[in-house]
Chains A and B, each alone.
Chain A
Amino acid sequence: MAAAAAQGGRTGGGGGSSGAGGGSSCGTGSSRSGLLDKWKIDDKPVKIDKWDGSAVKNSLDDSAKKVLLEKYKYVENFGLIDGRLTICTISCFFAIVALIWDYMHPFPESKPVLALCVISYFVMMGILTIYTSYKEKSIFLVAHRKDPTGMDPDDIWQLSSSLKRFDDKYTLKLTFISGRTKQQREAEFTKSIAKFFDHSGTLVMDAYEPEISRLHDSLATERKIK
């Protein structure tokens, strides 16, 4: 009986070891994505310093983005953000060119190139200011809803928000641009940030998500009525 039990134990151990062997091979195969999964913390509740205005605004914006993208499965359009990144990259490129050129050809031979780079840099700064003020405004999300029939152009949803310095009133504006009729409708709400954060600075999604859904549904239902 003891021998049978020992044998059973050994086969069990053998089965266990094969299971472990299989598990380890799986592990090494996906170890890189496993590390990436551990880095990303999308599921962890958002905790920020509740007195830091910009952190509060960023966390509210990011959560609104998450709700729209995950719950309604819209596709994010990076066009606006890419535009801003390109302008900034070009400006930094001019600065680097000026730095390297001045290092290779000491002043004053580098004067014309330096003058050109400096002027271009400040022109790019002007362009960036105009871009963020007029084209981007305070929009932080542009999402597309692909038409299920595939025939009509996409509907566009835009999210923009504002939170004044040292103020607690957060305004979130949702804009809907119909793909077919190119008509624009918008809805917004202004609420105190105290309604969404608890005393330790954790964002309570249960209080925030219904607000977003309500905004979204109010625009969506109007479309159905039309």
Chain B
Amino acid sequence: MLSLDFLDDVRRMNKRQLYYQVLNFGMIVSSALMIWKGLMVITGSESPIVVVLSGSMEPAFHRGDLLFLTNRVEDPIRVGEIVVFRIEGREIPIVHRVLKIHEKQNGHIKFLTKGDNNAVDDRGLYKQGQHWLEKKDVVGRARGFYQENRSVKDRNCKLLIRSLHWDCDDPHE
């Protein structure tokens, strides 16, 4: 039999201690999972933290920034707000700004989006035959972001959580 010295600690444990080690690992994983699910419940969004993947929202967001989202039913979507949405049939959510909204009396909304750094609106990205997005495509609205400090002098990460409440009159504040 091979002398596996590094397994000595495991061999010396009885059943209960082994089970406790397994449980310990399970609890660490569960804690992370429960924090994530808790965030999902609190914010109402199915993905409360997303990463910006493309440069289509520069100079506001750069690739690699983290966005914190909420998706509350009470807050209506307004023009100028930054939404994260998912197009039907595509896995990856997109972060763009709302350009136009059609709203019915009963609160039903159709809206059009465009990236700040793009030349045209997103109709080219939508599904074949789809011209507007609806509430069900929305993953959440951006409420804060975390950006690595880009100055040469200071490379440490600084937390910049700013409330992103954009006025309709002045979207490029």
Which of A's residues lie within 8 Å of B, judged by CB?
38-42, 44, 46-48, 55, 62, 78, 81-82, 84-85, 88-89, 91-92, 94-96, 98-99, 102, 106-108, 111, 114-115, 117-118, 121-122, 125
Q: Residues of B with Cβ closer than 8 Å to A?
A: 1, 5, 8-9, 11-12, 16, 19-20, 23-24, 26-27, 29-31, 33-34, 37-38, 40-41, 44, 46
Contact yes or no, B27 A98, CB < 8 A: no
Decide: B40 and A107 in contact? CB cutoff 8 A: yes
Question: What's the dominant secondary structure at chain A's contact region?
Answer: helix
* Complex: chain A residue closest to B24, CB-CB: A88
Cβ B27 vs Cβ A41 within 8 A: no
Q: CB distance A118 to B41 under 8 Å?
A: yes
Chain B positions within 8 Å of A96 at CB level: 30
**A121 and B34 form a contact (CB under 8 A):** yes
Indicate which residue in A40, A41, A95 contacts B34 across the interface (CB closer than 8 Å): A95
CB distance from B160 to the nearest CB of A (A): 28
**B27 contacts across to A, CB distance below 8 A:** 88, 91-92
A95 with B19: CB separation less than 8 A: no
- Known contacts A44-B8, A92-B27; A85 and B19 CB within 8 A of each other: yes
Closest B residue to A99 using CB positions: B33
List of B residues within 8 angstroms of A55 by Cβ:
9
When distances are taken between beta carbons in the complex, the residues of chain B under 8 Å from A94 are: 30
Q: List 17 A-B contacts (CB under 8 A).
A: A38-B1, A39-B11, A41-B8, A55-B9, A62-B12, A81-B16, A81-B20, A94-B30, A95-B34, A96-B30, A98-B37, A108-B46, A111-B41, A114-B41, A117-B34, A118-B38, A122-B38
